[in-house]
Chains A and B, each alone.
Chain A
């Protein structure tokens, strides 16, 4: 069951990522990225990260992607122009890519150590209470520094995007 869920969501993630890279219109790319993030959230759940899966959906797939789509709509971004490829690229690109991926896959597959299987439910420290306890005990200073970072980012975004006042 775990393997089936992993294969389903990993497949969705890879297909959506390929679609992100290949689509010509930014809106299609943005929707593909939402698909990648949602399936990654499901994989986090399989690994026991309940809090991080929820944060992935709320922060990434919700807030950040809405910001992206907002800017795409605002700027009325159109499709990318095709560039003319030379004959060398057109003939050799695909076979060379397949050869490279084949070699890479073989090397990686032969180098991968035998690792323990992932059992759903064997990691139980990913609940919000556990994450919060570690975050506010061991990582309090970095957490406070990120608030300053976000403040700087807000000010920077406002300064960059405001209208010039005469």
Chain B
């Protein structure tokens, strides 16, 4: 059996790099999508990337505090999702659209 060209264990920085990649993809989705629900899901992706950073540093420092912070981020994300989706519902009720480019009452 040929030797796999992998390091025996992954360095900690790879986790941080993965977190940065996911966060950047979330920013890209936030900026480029025009459906308001997809924009909202990109925000959730960014929150998840930050959570991965918390857990990684918690591992590095051998303390459980990072897990607590990730837990609080989850709670805030749940509250944010409830309020945000209610706002989306209200926008749709008033304007019959989900395109954020058409919701521009505050422009000028």
Contacts and interface: CB of A to CB of B under 8 A. Distances in A.
B8 interface: yes
Interface size class of B (residues with CB under 8 A): 35 or more
Nearest to A125: B64
Interface string B72-83: 101111111111
Interface residues of A, number: 73
A135 B71 contact: yes
A116 B11 contact: yes
Nearest to B44: A33
Given A21-B28, A40-B52, A146-B76, A68 B12 contact: no
Contacts of A21: 25, 28-29, 32-33, 42
Contacts of B51: 40, 52, 56
B7 interface: yes
Most chain B beta-carbon neighbours within 10 Å: one of A18, A59, A118, A156: A118
Interface string A135-151: 10011001000100110
Contact of A68 (B18, B71, B81): B81
B77 A43 contact: no
A71 B85 contact: yes
A60 B74 CA distance: 7
Most chain A beta-carbon neighbours within 10 Å: one of B28, B40, B86: B86
A96 interface: no
Interface string A108-145: 10001111111100010110001100110011001000
Contact of A118 (B29, B59, B71, B99): B59
A113 B22 contact: no
Q: Which 10 A-B pairs have the closest CB atoms?
A: A117-B9, A153-B79, A160-B86, A21-B29, A157-B86, A115-B12, A161-B86, A17-B25, A3-B6, A6-B10
Interface of B: 4, 6-15, 17-18, 20-22, 25-26, 28-29, 32-35, 37-38, 40-42, 44-45, 48, 51-52, 55-56, 58-60, 62-65, 67-68, 70-72, 74-83, 85-90, 92, 98-99
